[in-house]
Amino acid sequence: MVSTESRTCGVVGPATERVFIGRSEPPVVTATSWRHALDERGELDSEIAGRIIEVHGDRGVRAMEAVAERRIKEYLDFTVVVGHSDEYVVEDGSCTCKDSAYNLAPDDPDQLCWHVLATEIARRVDALDHHEMWYSEVRDFI
């Protein structure tokens, strides 16, 4: 039997979170951990929302608001997130917004614009607004 009072070593647990035995240090929250939890549960609860906010801050809040307002549209060719002043195309984890282009490290999975986050969350909770048409056709109407 292991005494948890004197033991302080870290053990790597599921989703690359650190679990500490004998100390009450919080686990490291990463984008991988909230994605894994959301995949398992299939719904956005307060615990997962807290993880998203801890990793992504205001971008996470904005992403969850967009999902709640059903502003993530999936067309035959692209996924589009409807912002307050424009629409942003999300494809293969990248986005057409200026935040993605100028402020974020493309190789860091924890640094994502809120449009990409919203798309990832919406896919995992089945909250995409599906349109059986090409986005390029929609743009022709505008």
| Secondary-structure percent of the chain, ordered helix, strand, coil, rounded to 5 | 40, 15, 45
| 5-47 per-position pLDDT tens digit | 333 333 333 444 444 455 555 667 888 999 999 999 999 999 9
Q: Is residue 3 part of a domain?
A: no
Show the domain range for 134. Answer: 10-141
Reference 88, options 116, 67, 65, 48; nearest CA is: 116
**Which residues, 6+ apart, have CB-to-CB distance to 96 below 8 Å?**
88, 89, 90
Bridge partners, 61 (sequence order): none
* Number of domains observed in the structure of the chain: 1
Question: CA 90: distance to chain centroid?
Answer: 13
| 55-110 per-position pLDDT tens digit | 999 999 999 999 999 999 999 999 999 998 999 999 998 999 999 999 998 888 78
Bridge partners, 11 (sequence order): 19
Q: Is residue 83 part of a domain?
A: yes
**Which residues, 6+ apart, have CB-to-CB distance to 105 below 8 Å?**
111
**Which residues, 6+ apart, have CB-to-CB distance to 59 below 8 Å?**
99, 112, 113, 114, 117
Q: Is residue 103 part of a domain?
A: yes
* pLDDT value of position 106: 80
Q: Is residue 109 part of a domain?
A: yes
Q: Is residue 67 part of a domain?
A: yes
| 106-137 per-position pLDDT tens digit | 888 789 999 999 999 999 999 999 999 998 88
* pLDDT value of position 140: 65
Q: What angle do CA 40, 123, 87 make, to 5 degrees?
A: 150
Q: Is residue 106 part of a domain?
A: yes
Q: Is residue 2 part of a domain?
A: no
CA 45/CA 57 separation, integer angstroms: 17
pTM score: 0.77
Q: Is residue 1 part of a domain?
A: no
Identify the band that residue 4 occupies on the pLDDT scale cut at 50, 70 and 90.
very low
